[in-house]
Amino acid sequence: MKKKNIGTKLAVFLTLLVFVSVALIVVLNQKNDSVPEKAPTEPPSIEGQPLFGKSNAPVTIVEFGDFKCPACKAWGDTVFPKLVEEYIESGNVNFAYVNVPFHGQESILAALAAESVYKQDPSVYWDFHKTLFSSQPETAKHDELWVTTEKLLELTSTMPSISPEKLRQDLEQELTMPEVETDTALYKENGVGVTPTIIIADKKISDPFDYEEIRNVIEEKLSAANE
Ligand code: CA
């Protein structure tokens, strides 16, 4: 009897665990149903986008992300460093980031700031990118407020080449909105309905957290590029 109880409890616990895991995945991967998912037919245009790594690398990876998205922060903390170590430092792969402001006004504010920093001094863009994701509270829910003009000014206060007056003006008057709109057109064109979305050359990765899948596609594209 006791054994059966333990078995039942275990079954209930495992069922709950599956439900919680599924719920977590749904919450972490922010979906936007208004954009139909589709496979790209060619590599996304990265003209005017920040590029990490050697500009002449044979393969380009594009992340479609949102500074407000917890899964994007998790991807940057776990998968991105592996890519840097294995493929970007050697010059085989470079990496571009495109804003997908899925989480309302704060996403847009963060994207406007990123575009302002990139325009003012492209060489500090990736520092800002990293700092902004690091500032996302560990417990952040999608609706928790943390991106503010004052916060963005504080994050750039250690970057002498970024003018706080210019940044404030870009945010308050939305002067970098054309760049954000370029990104918006790009994610729609590439059928991006979830963040993060990772596209390697012309191939969309089905699970951005599956490093084996990422590695296989990179190897395939590197072989094709070397033919
Ligand atoms: Ca952009």
How close is the Cα of 162 to the center of ligand 1, in Å?
Answer: 17
Centroid of ligand 1 to alpha carbon of 182 (angstroms): 7
pLDDT at 15: 60
**How much distance in Å is there from the Cα of 131 to the middle of ligand 1?**
17
| Number of alpha carbons in the 13 Å side-chain half-sphere of residue 160 | 0
Q: For position 3, what pLDDT does the model report?
A: 53
Residue type, 7: G
Beta bridge partners, 194, equal 31
Q: What is the pLDDT of residues 79-119, one digit of tens each?
A: 999 999 999 999 999 999 999 999 899 999 999 999 999 99
Q: In what order do the strands lie in the sheet with 59-65?
A: 51-52, 93-99, 59-65, 197-200, 203-204
Q: What is the pTM of this model?
A: 0.84
Give residue 191 CA to ligand 1 midpoint distance, Å: 17
Strand ranges (E), 37-102:
51-52, 59-65, 93-99
Helix axes 2-28, 70-83, angle to 10 degrees: 90
- Determine the 3-state secondary structure of 63 from DSSP: strand
What local confidence, expressed as pLDDT, does residue 158 receive? 96
Ligand 1 centroid – CA 98 distance (Å): 5
The confidence score (pLDDT) of residue 22 equals 44
pLDDT of residue 23: 46
- pLDDT score recorded for residue 40: 83
Distance from the alpha carbon of residue 28 to the mean position of ligand 1, in angstroms: 23
Please say whether the dihedral angle defined by the alpha carbons of residues 217, 220, 224 and 225, taken in this order, is positive or negative: positive
How much distance in Å is there from the Cα of 115 to the middle of ligand 1? 6
- pLDDT score, position 26: 42
Distance between Cα 143 and ligand 1 center (Å): 23
Contact between 53 and 85 (Cβ < 8 Å): no
What is the block-wise mean pLDDT of the chain (227 residues), using blocks of 10 residues? 59 59 48 70 95 98 97 97 98 98 94 98 98 89 83 98 98 98 97 97 97 98 93
Task: Give me the pLDDT at residue 41, please.
Answer: 82
